[in-house]
Amino acid sequence: MNDDLDYDRAGLDLTIASEGMRLTAYPDPGTGADPWTIGVGHTGPDVYPGRTISVEEGHQLLHDDVQEAVATVKNLVKVPLTQGQFDALVDFTFNCGAGNLGRSTLLKLLNAGDYNGASDHFSDWVKAGGRVLPGLVTRRENEERIFDGSGSV
């Protein structure tokens, strides 16, 4: 249903603004350890303490990594989306994971056609390591505004 949508420049800008671009590997802010991250939220066995990359590598990793979130949103969302709604959901999925989107009240309400109710549930996802992180609060607020069509990054 949303096969004609793709993660556009505004979506990428949202993810880059939320994650930042870090060229040296750093520990997860929620755990202070694993998973180590580099570039724009890239994790995996190729990320380890001391690893560095170029800006170009960071952009390529983001492009590759975001494809899973794009596919997840296209697969799980059964109602029509605007470009902004799609971008917000891809950013959310990129950050929270496909499984969390799939189990979320946000998705259940959205697929029932309750766009406003779904939007209210971005703010449910502001904790990491059991504590509220200000960066996640800001990210969810940005996603909600973009989803609602009332703002941009």
Question: Catalytic residue numbers?
Answer: 19
CA–CA separation, 57 and 55 (whole Å): 5
Backbone angles phi, psi at 32, to 5 degrees: 75, 10
Answer positive or negative: Cα dihedral of 88, 89, 90, 92: positive
Beta bridge mates, 128 = 131
**What's the CA gap between 15 and 87, in Å, rounded?**
9
Cα angle for residues 83, 41, 92 (degrees, 5° grid) = 35
